[in-house]
Amino acid sequence: MKALLDAPVLVLNLNYEPLNVCNVKRAMVLIVVGKADVLENSRGVIRTPSTTFLCPSVIKLIYMIKRPRPRVKLTKKEIFRRDNYTCQYCGRQSKNLTVDHIVPRHNGGQHHWENLVSACPACNHRKGSRTLREAHMRLLQRPYEPRATSSYLFGRYLKENEEWQGFIEGW
């Protein structure tokens, strides 16, 4: 029962825009207090002594949440994800990567999406604290800030929650 209550639930805005992911327990609270409706329930039911509830997989809020467009947070994990876990210097895919500043910080390089890339430890060591020109190295692709599309933000849940596909793909 505990694992069922911790399962992910997709939360949609009134206009069906994906907002976030919460657990079943939080989704049940939103449903019981009348703030959300169940759209998909591929997990069965939850029984209490007096009532039976549909166990939600996708819920929709009954009011509109206005918020600014989301941005992908600049984290090590997101840099690796943007670069598809590939060293941007040699092209080797690996789970053992480091983050490299293209223009070193001591040379005025900023901690921005456009100055950070994934690098294997060997390439990062070879480049050291030099610029690309000084190290005689080239990037495989130019770094960029990834767009915070619904597919990017919630796509990692799709393997276990196929019923979310139609709600995420449209945004």
pLDDT tens, per residue, the chain with 171 residues: 567 889 999 999 999 999 999 999 999 999 999 999 999 987 888 888 998 888 899 999 999 999 888 899 999 999 999 999 999 999 999 999 999 999 999 999 999 999 999 999 999 999 999 999 999 999 999 999 999 888 888 888 888 888 898 888 766
pLDDT given for residue 69 in this prediction: 85
What is the structure's pLDDT at 145?
Answer: 95
Distance between CA atoms of residues 11 and 165, nearest Å = 13
Q: Name the residue ranges covered by the structural domains of the chain.
A: 2-69+149-169, 76-135
pLDDT for the residue numbered 156: 84
Helix (H/G/I), strand (E/B), else coil: 32: helix
CATH 3.30.70.120 fits 76-135, yes or no: no
Q: What is the pTM of this model?
A: 0.73
Which pLDDT belongs to residue 93?
Answer: 96
pLDDT at 159: 85
Q: How confident is the model at residue 1, as a pLDDT?
A: 58
Q: What is the pLDDT of residue 45?
A: 84
